Chains A and B, each alone.
Chain A
Amino acid sequence: MDPATMHTPMKSLRNRFLLSTMALVVAVSAATLVAAHRLVSQAMSNEVSQSASRDQVLLSSALAPLVAARNLAEAEDLLRVMVSDGGFVYVEVFDSDGKLWLRAGPASPALSAAPLPAAASAVQRRGADGTFHFAGRLDLDGRDYGSYRFGLSGVAAVQAEQRVLGGLMAIGLLGAMGAVLLQVPMSRWLTRRLEDLADGTRRVAAGEYGLQLPLAGLDGLGRLTASFNDMSSALAQRVSALQASEQRQHQLVDALAEGVVFQDAQDRVLECNAAACSILGLTRGQLLGADSKAPGWHAIRRDGTPFDFSEHPSVVALRTGRPVRDVLMGVHRPEDGLVWVSINSQPLREGGTEATVTSFNDVTGRLQAELALQQANQDLEHRVAERTAELASARDAAEAANLAKTEFLGRMSHELRTPLNAILGFAQVLRMRLKPAPPGVDEQLGYIEAGGWHLLELINDVLDLARIEAGAMVVSLDSIQVAPLLNECARMVDAAAQSAGVVLEVVPAAPTWRVRGDRTRLRQVLVNLLSNACKYNRPGGRVRLEASVVGDRLTLSVADTGIGLSAEQQSRLYEPFNRLGAEAGSVEGTGIGLVITRRLVELMGGRLEARSTVGQGTTFSVHLSLGGEPAPPPAGSTAAALMQGAAPAVRELLYVEDNAANVQLLQEVLALRPALRVRTVGDGAAALRAVLAHQPDLLVIDIALPGMDGCELCRRLRALPGLVGTPMVALSANAMAGDRASGMDAGFDHYFTKPLDVAEFLAWVDRALKEIDA
């Protein structure tokens, strides 16, 4: 700022000082005038009031005797003198009736407005013309003689007020003029010293740090000058310290291996260190002033695409106000090729302007290592994918083979059971019908039936082993009460034990013991072990079945008193089809029973253990987990009378079967129930028509039907309104577990497998007829 322009504010300051002083004087004078006016006015009112109070006493004292004496003339003279010489504007006297008695001076303007006092007390008010109006009662020796009014002129009070105010205004004016005359040189003296200070400030601002102004006096401006000198000295010290600090910071930044640049709001580089120049391959002169839009600046992303200016970390930090971290950027250096840098940019606000500090590292080496590692990972992933594909292909092939094996087992089961159904079925029918049978016939039919059941057992064992090996065996684990299971198994092998001359002993189990397992398969395990213990025992030997609990495990033991097994035999005990030398004996067997038994135990989460001593016997132990609360019991099935059962009325049974031998067999079986009329059809469509036409009471349906299979037919029949509760069973050679589950899901009440157990079938028929009749 040049001195000419500096003087203007000083003059303005001086003028403001003068104006403010005058304004203050005028304000004080005005306030004084107002206050004085109020005080004078109030004082005059008080003076008049006090004077009038005394006048009222005197007036009353003078008038009352005259009025009492009806001395109107004297009273009138008195009033006239009061008005003419006493400063009264008017005086009025009223008699006790309020009637005007005497008056001197003009009529009271308040004659009709102001009330006459009712008692001796006086009233006062001031009129608009400044006249003070008073009124009072005329009282003499306690007697009321009327009242009076008089007015006192306020002109004197007003004139006194005006004189006082005039004097005060003159004093105020003189005071203001005096203040101005005093303030003019004082303000010039003050502003001159302030100008010296302003000049000193300009010199300091121009860099003349440490400037000292001459001290003049010890007043406020003198102290201000001293403070200025102190400030100037301190500023010089601080500037020196700041320059030293700046030098150290420059050295520190230059010592960094990390490149650092300071950029302004236009992204121009204002400062940089040596590392920044080195990393970017630029000289300091090239780098300073450059920005991200400079033509020589080529930056790319990791994928090789160019960096847009708006994406540069410093630009983003400026725009968002937030720091930007770890941005990877490839920079084409003028001579040294591409360098990869990792950039951090921090936004700054300095004195209201925005800037950034950007630092970066050369990560070219690290990036190349990462790229190599990434390539290696990609190769590895590629090889893993290839291997995974190979394994998946092998798995698919194995699964296909397994599926084919399962299908083969299913077909084998079906194809073997179908002829056995006819053999066993007719043998059972014949034995039931031929009662009494001719000599030897029943025995011969028994051989046929026994051979058929043995053949079925062999088939079942082989198929079970095949299912186990194929992983197709499924067990349904439940909590099973142990005691009834042991008794049931003992009853099943009791005949075999008797025929072998072996004593079967069952140690009663605690009624509360329960074991976790598949009821059918556990019964199969125990029957197999008991059967072996009976078959490979010595005449008169013993078989002992017992259960024990240790911890959370339950052990079922089958101990025999047979010839025992050697260690070598025990090591080969679970080899399929290896009968350990028994094949030379008379005992029939396939050599896969123990194999199936151990696999079934393992499927139930247990373990089969064998301990044997040659010559003393063998003990097989099945270790299983203890069971919890049992599942709800299935619908009770009581053994029905096979031959005695008879329906009270004729009922119709529809048999859907395409195999003539099977049709004939079932007709022969049901011929044992004369009250039951059998209708047969060969496929599902015919069955639907027959059902609509005849409404059968029971239905027996084969599964492997031409066209619509038995399960589909069952679902359609169940959908008909009248057949929702009709007894309906499947009779199929498809005996796999999955087949049975599919049939039950389709809606069959029971799933009979071929070869048909005639007795079991007739029991169901009798039970169904009984329920229908009920």
Chain B
Amino acid sequence: MTLPCSSRCLNRRRLLLGTVAGWAGMHGQHLSAKDAAVRVGLVPYLSTRTMLNVYEPLRKHLQAHIGRPVEFYTAAGFAALTENARSPSQPFTLLPMHLAYLATTEWGCVLVARSTQESAMHLWAPRGLGALQGTGTALRGRRVAVIDPLSMSTLMFERWRTSVQLDGALSTQVFPGLNSAVMAVSRGDADLVVAAIGQLRDLSGLDPDEFQSVAALGTVLRPAFVAQRDTPAPLVAAFRAALLSFRPAPSGGASSALWAEGSARDFEPYRDMATQARRVLARGLPSR
């Protein structure tokens, strides 16, 4: 007796689960199995699916322009991302500016392109939590959901916390990505979350108006693409050209940024945060 539909459904489900389990076990090493594809690493500040969805227009654009399949990969954490960025198997990596600075200055990577847009980093609280702006007393004892300690948002928050002398008053809870952090706040597992306004908009199913900004932590450029030092120059050039030609849709989210070639000067504002990141990496702190 044959059960074509049922069997097919079961097999499909099993394959999916096996894939997911493998992907989760390897912390998201690759999303496609084609060897000839160009592997591109993305900053893991969002969940994988969200990340892929957000950057899918860009991926298509790149694939169309360089004439090769392009596969976007995320990583289990920022530390893993930096490792991947130095790996020849991943020619291109999207890194926050402070890590891009380290990559170009210390790991031999080449800046491919930088975003032309900035992100305003804020400390957000659910609107139901009441007015908290500027009231350091009201923030005491709050739990702040942050992502990876190497992330730009986390480093900016720590710098701000020190500046407002709330180091011992605000505790942090690290989440693998912004989605999880926002969900933790929504669930009540945390009280505040650190994110750029654009990042919140990239979260599917979330209305940014449900959050209110408690504090503005500063403005930073969006991440930049770097190429692993062994990446062939033509490919780098093709990749850069593709990036520079990208014209995102008006509501494209994080991938809607326009790209520019960039230079070392672009990294100067992030030298201190790069130093902080270097310390974190030196401590060997887990990046997730």
Contacts and interface: CB of A to CB of B under 8 A. Distances in A.
A633 interface: no
Given A51-B14, A55-B13, A81-B16, A74 B6 contact: no
B204 to A, nearest CB: 10
Interface residues of B, number: 33
Contacts of B25: 61, 65
A424 interface: no
Given A156-B5, A160-B6, A72 B184 contact: yes
Interface in B136-175: 173, 175
A77 B25 CA distance: 16
Contact of A77 (B14, B47, B175, B288): B47
A62 B179 contact: no
B14 A54 contact: yes
B50 A160 contact: no
B199 to A, nearest CB: 12
B183 interface: yes
A85 interface: yes
A86 B48 contact: no
Contacts of A87: 9-10, 12-13
B14 A71 contact: no
Contact of B6 (A61, A62, A65, A157): A157
B17 A86 contact: yes
Given A156-B3, A156-B6, A159-B5, A73 B13 contact: no
Given A86-B17, A87-B10, A77 B176 contact: no
Contacts of A101: 187
Interface residue SS majority, chain B: helix
B10 A77 contact: no
Interface residue SS majority, chain A: helix
| Chain A interface residue bracket vs B | 35 or more
Contacts of A85: 12-13, 16
Interface in A73-110: 73-74, 76-78, 80-82, 85-88, 101
B150 to A, nearest CB: 15
Interface in A207-237: none
B20 interface: yes
B91 interface: no
Given A51-B10, A73-B47, A58 B18 contact: yes
B17 A58 contact: yes
Contacts of B47: 71, 73-74, 76-77
Given A77-B47, A77-B48, A87-B10, A70 B176 contact: yes
A47 B6 CA distance: 10
A82 B175 contact: no
Interface of B: 1, 3, 5-6, 9-10, 12-14, 16-18, 20-21, 24-25, 46-50, 173, 175-180, 183-184, 187, 189, 288
Interface of A: 40, 43-44, 47, 51, 54-55, 58-59, 61-62, 65-66, 69-74, 76-78, 80-82, 85-88, 101, 156-157, 159-160, 164
Given A62-B20, A71-B176, A85-B16, 16 more contacts: A44-B6, A47-B10, A54-B14, A55-B13, A58-B17, A65-B24, A70-B184, A72-B187, A73-B46, A74-B24, A74-B49, A87-B10, A87-B12, A88-B13, A101-B187, A156-B6
Closest 5 CB pairs of A and B: A73-B179, A73-B47, A156-B6, A71-B176, A86-B13
